[in-house]
């Protein structure tokens, strides 16, 4: 079933971990792309210097201040999009970046699946662009998340986030999550 808003209103770190193994559904016209989330990164609140919104509310980051469950999509390095899901309460800037997915080509989840690692590649594969910025994943017919089998919490590996060296001590936080067997 589709994940309810209450799921995304939990603590960002918890959402990031629980999203692993959930299904990400992208509906384009009559085509449906079903994928499973296999890597996430947490961006928690205004104090997190790696978070765009740590410098305050601007036009770009205003999406992150929305209610939990909205999509935050932005363009990076002029050519790649990154897809985040807003978490926690309204007016609190926090989000989970979707870094990696696995396309499920058949209903059996074992083989024949294509792994997409890297936020830029995820968006290219799912045709996510800034038109989807601000979309409500609770209501959207184009993009939403379903609960999945999930991975055991004990198999989740955490590591430092990527590309955020400028964030000082926040850069060392192990807020990047992936199931253990993908490392």
Partner DNA sequence: CAAGAGATCATCT
Partner DNA sequence: GATGATCTCTTGA
Of the pair 121, 127, the CB lying nearest DNA is at: 121
Burial string for 155-168 (b: 16+ CB within 10 Å, else e) reads ebeeeebeebeebe
Applying CB under 7 A, the residues found at the interface with DNA are 41, 43, 50-53, 55, 58-61, 64, 72, 74-80, 82, 84, 95, 97, 117-122, 130, 161-164, 166
Structure tokens at 155: 């198999």
Of the pair 29, 56, the CB lying nearest DNA is at: 56
- Least Å from the CB of residue 57 to DNA: 8
End-to-end CA distance of the chain: 29
List Cβ neighbours of 54 (8 Å cut-off, separation of 6 or more).
45, 46, 47, 48, 93
Cα atoms in the Cβ-side hemisphere of radius 13 Å centred on 167: 22
- Least Å from the CB of residue 82 to DNA: 5
User: Which whole-number Å values give the CA distances from 61 to 32, 38, 115, in the listed order?
Assistant: 29, 25, 29
Of the pair 76, 155, the CB lying nearest DNA is at: 76
- Least Å from the CB of residue 152 to DNA: 26
Of the pair 25, 64, the CB lying nearest DNA is at: 64
Nearest to 178 by CA among 52, 11, 17: 17
- Least Å from the CB of residue 103 to DNA: 15
Of the pair 29, 118, the CB lying nearest DNA is at: 118
- Least Å from the CB of residue 29 to DNA: 24
Of the pair 79, 149, the CB lying nearest DNA is at: 79
Structure tokens at 180: 């253990």
Cβ atoms of 36 and 101 closer than 8 Å: yes
- Least Å from the CB of residue 25 to DNA: 20
């Amino acid at each position: 079933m589709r994940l309810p808003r209450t799921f995304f209103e939990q603590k960002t770190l918890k959402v990031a971990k629980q999203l692993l193994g959930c299904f990400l559904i992208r509906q384009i016209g009559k085509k449906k792309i079903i994928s499973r989330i296999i890597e996430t990164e947490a961006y928690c609140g205004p104090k997190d210097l790696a978070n765009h919104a740590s410098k305050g509310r601007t036009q770009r980051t205003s999406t992150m201040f929305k209610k939990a469950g909205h999509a935050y999509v932005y363009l990076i390095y002029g050519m790649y999009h990154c897809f985040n899901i807003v978490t926690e309460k309204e007016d609190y800037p926090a989000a989970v970046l979707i870094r990696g997915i696995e396309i499920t080509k058949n209903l059996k989840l074992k083989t024949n699946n294509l792994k997409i690692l890297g936020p830029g590649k995820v968006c290219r594969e799912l045709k996510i662009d800034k038109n989807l910025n601000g979309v409500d994943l609770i209501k959207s017919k184009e993009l939403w998340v379903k609960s999945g089998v999930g991975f055991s919490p004990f198999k989740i590996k955490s590591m430092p986030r990527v590309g955020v060296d400028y964030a000082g001590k926040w850069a060392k936080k192990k807020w990047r999550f992936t199931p253990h067997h993908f490392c």
